[in-house]
Structure 1
């Protein structure tokens, strides 16, 4: 998808998990912070990693696939959140990482590129297709990124 159709599809995909999709859309359009609180575990889980590891992992992922699934960065660039299939959070184990799955909520900015939000922003915005990052590929990318950071691989 391209243009406003892609953004509209991304909005619809994101708000589909909201308890009140119309209220979520309203908040995004009228709230100056441009963020909404959405439940994880329905259409996606989010794997949260330190940005020092996340940015190199995103670089690796970008070499492995045409387009990774949605990725968020928090204010201050301390952490990144990779959107993965539901259920991944319950099985994920990693030192220094957290997972948001069923029963948790995440701060999600409006998917419109260039929109100023409360600090949380999209590094890879959703495209409305429902595409997510494959957790197996993410794990491999995280391992390669950790090796790069340790000076073992370039």
Structure 2
């Protein structure tokens, strides 16, 4: 059920796989059955007045079609393929959201810094987990659970203040959007490095945080 890929050049040695469109149900079931990740359905986009609106109904929604639909979303999350089928059968257009702090944590950096760090890590053959890119021009690096809690101390040990870098960490009680989730009219979340058997074992945050922090510090878009 993995997405069909056709690689296109992006930056240095980094190539982003071009993926065929998949239904949210297909991807949610794949994440649950093949990766044993927990998934839960979020909001979705609804057409109206010549545009698309978030199903939450808020005209000023900050992430249209790509955020939890209910406050108790954590209780709804499932790592069962049959459970995912039941959830998306009721809401077939719902976004696919992944809880963090359970099977993985996520290090979140600007897209420009992420591609720079990714190219360097690939040249050095640093083991990597899945990597996603959002329409908001952010890159999400999947690491072992506990990475979010370690991140501030690791950044300080490298000589930077955590508040000085545009590097966020999603851990316990958090979540991230997963492909094929669409965010308003900005586009869809996509895999830069798709979940495969080869990256089933996630890296320790120490292995990827140093190049990510360095790339964030060198990012020309950094305020």
Q: Which TM-score applies when normalising by structure 1?
A: 0.71
Distance 1:37 1:9 in 2: 13
RMSD: 3.2
Q: CA 1:32 to 1:15, structure 2 compared with 1: closer, same or farther past 3 Å?
A: farther
Query: Are 1:82 and 2:141 counterparts?
Result: yes
Give 3-state SS (helix, strand or coil) of 2:119's partner: helix
The aligned residue for residue 122 of structure 1 is: 191
Query: Are 1:91 and 2:150 counterparts?
Result: yes
Q: What whole-Å deviation, never above 9, does each CA across 1:89-143 have from its counterpart, x for those lacking one? A: 0111232111111111111125xxxxxx521010001114622233222123225
Aligned length: 138
Name structure 1 gaps, 5 residues minimum: 111-116
Stretch of structure 1 that moved more, 140-149 or 122-131: 140-149
The question of whether the paired residues in 1 share the 8 Å contact of 2:31 and 2:37 is answered with no
Counting helix residues as a fraction of each chain, which structure ranks higher? Answer: 1
Larger RCO (CA within 8 A; separation ≥ 6): 1
Match of 2:201 among 123, 126, 131: 131
Distance 1:36 1:138 in 2: 25
The aligned residue for residue 117 of structure 2 is: 57
Larger radius of gyration: 2
The aligned residue for residue 131 of structure 2 is: 71
Name structure 2 gaps, 5 residues minimum: 5-26, 40-76, 153-161, 183-187
